[in-house]
Structure 1
Amino acid sequence: MELPLKGIIVLEFCQYLSGPSAGLRLADLGARVIKIERPEIGEAGRSLSIKNLWVGSDSLLFHTINRNKESYTANLKNAEELAAIKQLIKHAHIITHNFRPGVMEKSGLGYEAVKAINPGIIYAEVSGYGKNGPWKDLPGQDLLIQAISGLTYTTGNANQSPIPFGISIADMICGEHLVQGILASLIRKAKKGVGAHIEVSLLESLLDFQFELLTTYFASNKQPERSLINNGNPLLSAPYGIYQTKDGYIAIAMVNLLQLAEAIESDALAKAAVKNPFEYRDDIKQICADHLLTNTSQHWLNKLHAIDLWAIEVLDWQKLTTLPAYQQLQIEQVIAIDEQQKIITTRCPIRINGERLLSNKSAPLLGADTEKIKQEFQIA
């Protein structure tokens, strides 16, 4: 299958997660992504390890998010090497970067300068908090963005401290927003022949992610409150949440309380079910929590599923990955680092005409493609 972005050249001036995650998805869709990196050091993500795991001299994190790319090294403070980059820009369709505001401009590679070299360029940039305003120079790090955006008040119970998501959710969502803007601009360019300047920020991505909560706040002028126990979503009534059982946990979504009471055979819940499930949310959840502790997860799931109530077991990765339903997805792929070393990671989740998008090309060694790219594009 010929991938939809085959022939598209992306120059990625990016580091860490948000920008590289966008490049990863573009590469999965067939684009040729060339990372522009500092000589000897490379982009900062090469040295940012997760769980102190490394693949050769680079972090495992770098390999998870930079597979299927090429690496071109250039010192942008060196006039000759900057001139070579400008020659390369003439051949590019897309440029991405996620440096702080002003960094690319100081290097002579801001949007206006690049547009003068390549008028049809799609120039896509990520910032932490936007390019203007009092926060523009704050560090755009995922945990900090989660904290300042209010997102940490959606997870955990009301009597707990603010709790962040256990993943770099701001980086991942912002990277996807960058890809959306790029793909939309590619369509417009195909129709009208014009380029685009795309701007996204981690903060705006997380604010958009919370549109339900913020819309509720705008309407009521009140912060949505987490439930005291078994919080699942601060906007939803009982019983929505995760409950401990005799041998594990189950998640219960939006269900009719009377049906739930009948399914789990709880007289206390049947009596409480006539009350307002928002006003008495914590009381109702406490009744459910106490009752569900008396038997196993599978026992309750059998009863709930028998009348089509929305509930499911809470799995860890060890159990999840052994199940036929997971294995049928074929979400894993093997990346060959060299003849001896391989890593397992996830594939692109998109299927096109029924085909999974797989790539077993590992992340590039620093500068591995510099000379080949210079020769290909006749760059002095």
Structure 2
Amino acid sequence: MTNTKSPKVSIVLVTYNRANELKEAIEQVLKQTYENIELLIGDDCSSDNTQEVIKSFNTNKIKNIRHKKNQGFFDNWQATLKYINSDYFIPIICDDDRLVDPNFIKDSICLFMQEDDIDMVFARVGTVINKKLTLQEHEFKNEYTGMQLVKDFYLYQKHLCLSTMILKKKYLDFFLNPNFKWDSSIVSNDQVLIYDILLHCKKIKFLNKVVYHWIREENIETFSNSIQSSVYAQLKNTTSLVEHVIPYLKEKNLEHLINSFDKYFLNHFEQMEMNYYLNLNQEIFEKLISENELKNKKIYIYGFGEVGIKLNDFLISKDIFICNFIDDIRKGEDIITFSNYLKNENEDSIIIIASYKRKIIHNIYKKLIQIPNKFKILELIDN
């Protein structure tokens, strides 16, 4: 090791009127096995019992930063970042999400200590939908340059989360004095920051484990949920990243990177169609069961993603129960691979393809029709 000291790590947690969620978020951070941490909690002038929750933790690892007036999410975040006085930092943790790996900081600092020239360590993020964990699958390498991630930003964008990153303190300036103006009406501010940071990172290490859960509940209104409910808001959010970044790339003589956003746009248009149909879930699911006899049938849902989980919850509400999810990538106790399905259940069953992404539907359908007359195939969207 090149450094034997135990460097300090700051974690920034922002909150507003979510005292019930905040307690668990704090507890999860304090479970970190790495000792030399400080948790900076930015309270955006909450009117509930947030302060009581924070003060109930008797530890000098917490710095309680209560702002005198409500500033809004981004200003609260930036104001709290100014209190960082450490060697490394996690830029943000939200009160309704969870840092779930107790060894994340310890393992990251171990990498930093082994090689002085590492700028960032990042890990996987998992999405929890109605209390079920799903993962965006991608095959990562152990090491990258920032430019490698930038050139294929459309592939990595959904995997790059500020809450799963530990950065050297020198990158704090990107947050305190950003090259791009905050826009409180969009959610891509973090992506603008990530893109800019990547342009300057020479060495990045990847930890292949899920360290953070992004929690999505249908009955909780969040900024992200409201953006996804409107195609127009999504268009604004998608284009805002490029509108901010392209002038910067031209200024830095990096115009050759602009073409990479062609694929970024194509990827996001597919996601926007997915979100459009997600907002019609109830209508689509009702139509599915009205047009098909599903009760007392052997039913399998192909796809353990957001659509599959919500479809299963809907079917349960109608007293319709599936045998298993089928998924060839994700793993879990309720999930089998397609090859295992064929071994155990060849006849008289129904497979529902649970996706609104046409490319995925097409690929699954091609696989299914190679096994003729064994099962009935149902899709959620009309072609």
Q: TM-score, normalised by structure 2?
A: 0.29
* Structure 1 or 2: more helix by fraction: 2
Indicate the structure (1 or 2) with the bigger Cα radius of gyration: 1
Q: TM-score, normalised by structure 1?
A: 0.29
